[in-house]
Structure 1
């Protein structure tokens, strides 16, 4: 058997605010809300429906790449996809089910250590938990036990392999330079391959000190490097030729040519990389004597004939072993030449200090509450997967505290387990991978550390923060805005913390605009507001009570809350523990409500205290009103502008800008209506062009893209109605005038899915059905506009 396997490591780090459970807005990911959204749009979604184009550049086929490759299902990414992009999440799960049919019952997905901890740097108890949580997360999503597990950054040591084998994992994947020696099973002497000379076209057995063993696949490093950093993805056929040409001349033994790369290469790092991958997979499947496979299928058919020794404390992305995650080894992204990595050592020291101080105290405290603290910790992932639902909490304590536990003991145990979870999240590899402690990865692990320290202080009076900050004072910073890691902690970490009063304040602010607080949306909190006093006029006000319960820790409280909002830079929020309605009347009746809030409430927050996420959310809510206000001003000024024009008097610059905005708004309105009169659209566009008025092309493109998708959905829902298809052609025709950049991914997917119906209707049209003829003509024109081949 000659086979090819392409492995993609699909992973994003935990980006959620540790107190709220939701990802805040990340400016560097613009125009997307955050990097999870951006990478999903550029990689994870396109790989569920990768385009294969014909010679004319028309979409010939859509391929779900996940069904044909091997891939890592990293828990932190898949948890986010499940909640925020269930369509993409579902398509990936479907792909794994499809792959099991294709590959003899062996699925394409493999598991991953829970939150991408560098395993050789983890304590033994964390290694055990990382594997246990990774296995449980995988099984809950894919409905089967994982056969393989990805070691983050392929960082390996024997203790980590023991943890994998003890959990029933059959294989893992390593880089070729991580092999130390090999020999045929049954032989005595070892062949030294530590220079990267291992034969990669076979699996190896790795025997472990416990008597267990695990299979190891060492991927082809040269081809993988050329995919990730070379130009192999410029042509999918070329990649296929490179892979199929890597077999030996000996045909008497089975061989597996396989590569492993960051899966974000396919579309995020390399635009259209998912299309090259799809073309490559199709080309390989066309071979008569070579087949695509996944590791589980190949291992079942061809058990190892050789065994291997691994080089401990090595990884695939650090030439110095694992120093990238604890020292100044020189490995960096290349973005900022000359920057120091001296901050990595103190950050590692600070994180490990929290880990090692917390672990024994937590185990001791848990031992008083549950039967087996280690088992309870390993099983606590079930609480996370269920978002700490009441049912899951009850089932958890029924299992781990069979003798009974009172409400206070339950809250204490939940708090301890949440501190343990945060202590694992603070070790995520991305904290050290990049070039400065100020980058999102470094800030994120410090935020998790603070959350763990906050809970430890509340749970058993263990105050670690001063020592943590003192260690960070020894962490130099490359960003000139900060001197040490301690300053980064003060500016970027501490303000992100959100206790129950702060969440109550945010809840009141969001409620003023009819929105749910992200903490409630995340499932980590139950938030219930009662707002008997609400004023939404020029000055917005809301007063009432908020009950906040953290499901992850059991902590809860009831608050009075009041908001006075007269602009995003003029907001006052007051919070205090429930004290009756007296404060409400004081604020409600006051001619200075902002001042009344400041006087009546123990906690007061103003505009500078708002998080970026809060500012972003509120700005989006009030932005449409700005456009409406501008249009209203234009309507009031239009007679005067017309009179000036009649008299030949140049209008002021502000009037010209008003006119431009009003006309652009009219174009947006026409698009929103489906461009029922293209002639009118063309005339207005030409009028703007003649007046050198430049519309907001991005806004017009987004509006047109949305309306096209809306029309395609309507066409799919009303399969014999040509009107939505005719609308698509009109909008695309109007969009070409400027031209507008259209986002057509979803529309094209729908169109491709309708091709089967098109074939049926075309048969009816051939039999003289006039309605069917109109529909097929409309579909053909719409498909052509979308770049989809229908015949």
Structure 2
């Protein structure tokens, strides 16, 4: 391994969950996906689990799990979301790390990350310890091993942060080349100044720390990394490999490591098909004689540092001014709105730090009265989150930190304080300051976490900080013309996201009316149990009953009478009151005017305008099939007239044309969901409507076709001698290519590639059934772009 290459990808998404509910709510800017986590997963994280290697004719020779060959950051806030929402992608990432350990001598490809991507030099020493401790604990729980390396968010570095890594047993971190200040051979006296970015990047360095500890530092090749992230190097995987292989020195007098680090979203999200270029690059390097692919831990074992380095403190990889991007108007921005001011950043930083500094001492003091060691309890609190606040994880936590016993009230208080601690961590996430305005999702998100922390402080510490925070935000100017100051943004975008137990009960009743689980329960943060005494789901939708809501995260609970009367997405009335013994529910149920009775009977009433974006989105999805059927019924009633107009050459009214187009989409959607059993009929309908289909129709048709193709391939894998599922794949593709429909095929291609071995066996048989199956498989593989002999 005298010459080796390492490609590091920083896979990360910020916390996007509603702080009160624990679930990501709909984000319209991510359309056609529900939210940005879903979108980036579809464009990057999933494709990198099965990146395509194509032959000269453009057919898939192989699928590579890129996570098994590169070095990558395992960011907790991303992995926790993937684990619950895309478990197959999450599992493939863990598989990649396990496979990498076999490839790289026991050293895994994954490295840890500070828990929620705070800018460490701006954090307090207390918070740095927690960020590192939670990052390590999260990593161990997922990968089953201690991390060798840890990513500093935005590579922002200072001495305290490096000390925190070293104290936690971290062996190395990765920095940008301009973050090196000086270097020297170990044992020498004088330092060579490399602060202009002139550090030799092809070797690891030892960084000695004031405590007597040390940590290894890898400074990546900035020029190649920049060309990957912002240039056109990903347009050709072979060229990408050639650039890396060409970066070795001509002299072969010492071992060298050529390595780069970029945001891993570059590979597929920022650069379409970037994951394919990466896979081709990795394959080419593996095939190159004299050069090895490696990960940092393996290389460090083989080639310990021969030189040491001084680090330029309070610097980062994404701010030319050090770390000012996260606390001042330094001029760094995304470039989307070049004329916008970043004067809002300093007041936002001041507001968040005010909350942080006011909470920390009071929190530690309160915990000290309840647990054996507050610092250890805070470090261990991440186990509650990893266990989704299950009864088992809560019991285990208190057995460790309050072994002498603690009453129910004390347990609730401790849980509330630890949830306050978590929210105080999340409110410092770096994305709050990275973008161009305080109205952007990352900034709104950190202020939401601050509000949740303040709400908990009001309850658990009798400390009210909200007025002070708002006053500071009044000094934050806003670029978005809809708002004047950050205080207005707070009122418009932060306050409405907050919910209490009674509001969750109201939402639970609405969701139950449609047979849905409330997001608060789905996240694991709450136990939500409904006892529906009265229910009507016919033309007039009504539900009444009691709802018990218990916050698993804080121990707070309540029992509520609830009632919902739903006669349309714009005609909703929800009533909530503390449990009154059932009389109110019976009276509301028996009232001939249920919608009018709710305001008179219940203390809190919500109408359509009070519904959140997520509630509207979820309910709209549930009632959409009924709308589709209603439209089709209108068409059936008008079909004869529309056809007569067409026969007479009389243009149909615009509404009739739109009605016909909609019905055709619904027909084709049904045909696709049934597997296109009558291909000629499906093709004829698709051809008729090709010019009428709008983008939204294409998205829904493409999603349906993708699901059906995957189901057919699963059936083919389960019934290895039955050609019918394979024929279905070909039929659906025949229909899809007319538009063409946007298809998601990662899982289908994995299934097809996995069946090539069976294809080879069946092909050797000489019976008629084998011939029919192999021909069906070849056709399906061709549709998926998979090479077969």
**1:167-219, Cα deviation, whole Å (9 max, x unpaired):** 00000000011111111111111111111111111111111111100000011
Q: Aligned-pair distance for 1:645?
A: 5.6
For residues 96 and 44 of structure 2, the distance between their equivalents in structure 1, rounded to whole angstroms, comes to 16
**1:474-533, Cα deviation, whole Å (9 max, x unpaired):** 000000000000000000000000110110011000000000000000001001001010
**1:374-408, Cα deviation, whole Å (9 max, x unpaired):** 11001111111001111111111111111111000
1:609 equivalent to 2:610? Answer yes
For residues 129 and 790 of structure 1, the distance between their equivalents in structure 2, rounded to whole angstroms, comes to 52
Q: Aligned-pair distance for 1:680?
A: 2.1
Q: Aligned-pair distance for 1:642?
A: 4.8
Q: Aligned-pair distance for 1:677?
A: 1.9
Equivalent residues in 2 for 1:114-153, closer than 5 Å:
114-153=115-154
1:745 equivalent to 2:734? Answer no
**1:13-40, Cα deviation, whole Å (9 max, x unpaired):** 0000000000000010000000000000
Q: Is the 8 A contact 2:420 2:453 kept in 1?
A: yes
**Matched residue SS, 1:72:** strand
Q: Aligned-pair distance for 1:538?
A: 2.0
**Matched residue SS, 2:9:** strand
For residues 302 and 649 of structure 1, the distance between their equivalents in structure 2, rounded to whole angstroms, comes to 82
1:88 equivalent to 2:89? Answer yes
Q: Which TM-score applies when normalising by structure 1? A: 0.98
For residues 253 and 584 of structure 1, the distance between their equivalents in structure 2, rounded to whole angstroms, comes to 81
**1:247-304, Cα deviation, whole Å (9 max, x unpaired):** 1122121110100000000000000000000000011111110000000000011111
Of 771-780 and 697-706, more deviation after overlay is shown by: 697-706
Flag the 1:590–1:98 CA change in 2: closer, same or farther, 3 A. same
1:301 equivalent to 2:284? Answer no
1:600 equivalent to 2:598? Answer no
Of 734-743 and 571-580, more deviation after overlay is shown by: 734-743
Among 764, 782, 785, the residue aligned to 2:783: 785
Give the match for residue 559 of structure 2.
558
Flag the 1:250–1:409 CA change in 2: closer, same or farther, 3 A. same
**Matched residue SS, 2:318:** coil
1:363 equivalent to 2:344? Answer no
**Matched residue SS, 1:282:** helix
Give the match for residue 678 of structure 1.
679
For residues 529 and 258 of structure 2, the distance between their equivalents in structure 1, rounded to whole angstroms, comes to 56
Equivalent residues in 2 for 1:297-336, closer than 5 Å:
297-336=298-337
**Matched residue SS, 1:789:** coil
**1:421-443, Cα deviation, whole Å (9 max, x unpaired):** 10010000000000001000000
For residues 34 and 358 of structure 2, the distance between their equivalents in structure 1, rounded to whole angstroms, comes to 36
Give the match for residue 774 of structure 1.
772
Flag the 1:686–1:346 CA change in 2: closer, same or farther, 3 A. closer
Q: Aligned-pair distance for 1:681?
A: 2.4
Equivalent residues in 2 for 1:430-509, closer than 5 Å:
430-509=431-510
Equivalent residues in 2 for 1:208-607, closer than 5 Å:
208-607=209-608
For residues 174 and 651 of structure 1, the distance between their equivalents in structure 2, rounded to whole angstroms, comes to 66
Q: Aligned-pair distance for 1:693?
A: 5.0
Q: How many residues align?
A: 786
For residues 572 and 146 of structure 2, the distance between their equivalents in structure 1, rounded to whole angstroms, comes to 52
Q: Is the 8 A contact 2:33 2:39 kept in 1?
A: yes
**Matched residue SS, 1:79:** helix
For residues 37 and 334 of structure 1, the distance between their equivalents in structure 2, rounded to whole angstroms, comes to 25
For residues 758 and 255 of structure 2, the distance between their equivalents in structure 1, rounded to whole angstroms, comes to 44
Flag the 1:400–1:148 CA change in 2: closer, same or farther, 3 A. same
For residues 391 and 692 of structure 2, the distance between their equivalents in structure 1, rounded to whole angstroms, comes to 58
Q: Aligned-pair distance for 1:699?
A: 3.3
Of 608-617 and 649-658, more deviation after overlay is shown by: 649-658
Of 114-123 and 243-252, more deviation after overlay is shown by: 243-252
For residues 613 and 694 of structure 1, the distance between their equivalents in structure 2, rounded to whole angstroms, comes to 27
Equivalent residues in 2 for 1:148-227, closer than 5 Å:
148-227=149-228
For residues 276 and 117 of structure 2, the distance between their equivalents in structure 1, rounded to whole angstroms, comes to 28
For residues 557 and 213 of structure 1, the distance between their equivalents in structure 2, rounded to whole angstroms, comes to 52
Q: Aligned-pair distance for 1:66?
A: 0.5
Q: Is the 8 A contact 2:46 2:746 kept in 1?
A: no
**1:342-375, Cα deviation, whole Å (9 max, x unpaired):** 0000000000000000000001100000011011
Give the match for residue 52 of structure 1.
53
Give the match for residue 72 of structure 2.
71
Q: Aligned-pair distance for 1:102?
A: 0.6
Flag the 1:488–1:518 CA change in 2: closer, same or farther, 3 A. same
Structure 1 residue ranges without an equivalent (≥5): none
Of 711-720 and 419-428, more deviation after overlay is shown by: 711-720
Q: Aligned-pair distance for 1:646?
A: 6.4
**Matched residue SS, 1:526:** strand
For residues 527 and 574 of structure 1, the distance between their equivalents in structure 2, rounded to whole angstroms, comes to 17
Q: Aligned-pair distance for 1:757?
A: 0.9
Of 738-747 and 14-23, more deviation after overlay is shown by: 738-747
Q: Aligned-pair distance for 1:649?
A: 5.9
**Matched residue SS, 2:261:** strand
For residues 590 and 35 of structure 2, the distance between their equivalents in structure 1, rounded to whole angstroms, comes to 41
Flag the 1:225–1:504 CA change in 2: closer, same or farther, 3 A. same
**1:139-169, Cα deviation, whole Å (9 max, x unpaired):** 0000000000000000000000000000000
Flag the 1:391–1:618 CA change in 2: closer, same or farther, 3 A. same
**Matched residue SS, 1:321:** coil
For residues 461 and 727 of structure 1, the distance between their equivalents in structure 2, rounded to whole angstroms, comes to 64
Give the match for residue 666 of structure 1.
667
Equivalent residues in 2 for 1:705-716, closer than 5 Å:
705-716=706-717
**1:561-594, Cα deviation, whole Å (9 max, x unpaired):** 0001111111011111100112112211222212
For residues 230 and 284 of structure 2, the distance between their equivalents in structure 1, rounded to whole angstroms, comes to 22
For residues 425 and 514 of structure 2, the distance between their equivalents in structure 1, rounded to whole angstroms, comes to 36
For residues 694 and 446 of structure 1, the distance between their equivalents in structure 2, rounded to whole angstroms, comes to 41
Of 354-363 and 708-717, more deviation after overlay is shown by: 708-717
Flag the 1:257–1:769 CA change in 2: closer, same or farther, 3 A. same
Give the match for residue 35 of structure 1.
36
Flag the 1:334–1:656 CA change in 2: closer, same or farther, 3 A. closer
Of 598-607 and 636-645, more deviation after overlay is shown by: 636-645
Flag the 1:69–1:576 CA change in 2: closer, same or farther, 3 A. same
**Matched residue SS, 1:12:** coil
Q: Which TM-score applies when normalising by structure 2? A: 0.98
Of 309-318 and 729-738, more deviation after overlay is shown by: 729-738
**1:726-747, Cα deviation, whole Å (9 max, x unpaired):** 1111221222334433332322
**Matched residue SS, 1:172:** strand
Flag the 1:732–1:583 CA change in 2: closer, same or farther, 3 A. same
Q: Is the 8 A contact 2:325 2:434 kept in 1?
A: yes
For residues 97 and 643 of structure 2, the distance between their equivalents in structure 1, rounded to whole angstroms, comes to 64
For residues 590 and 348 of structure 1, the distance between their equivalents in structure 2, rounded to whole angstroms, comes to 53
Q: Is the 8 A contact 2:32 2:699 kept in 1?
A: no
Flag the 1:453–1:516 CA change in 2: closer, same or farther, 3 A. same
For residues 728 and 671 of structure 1, the distance between their equivalents in structure 2, rounded to whole angstroms, comes to 10
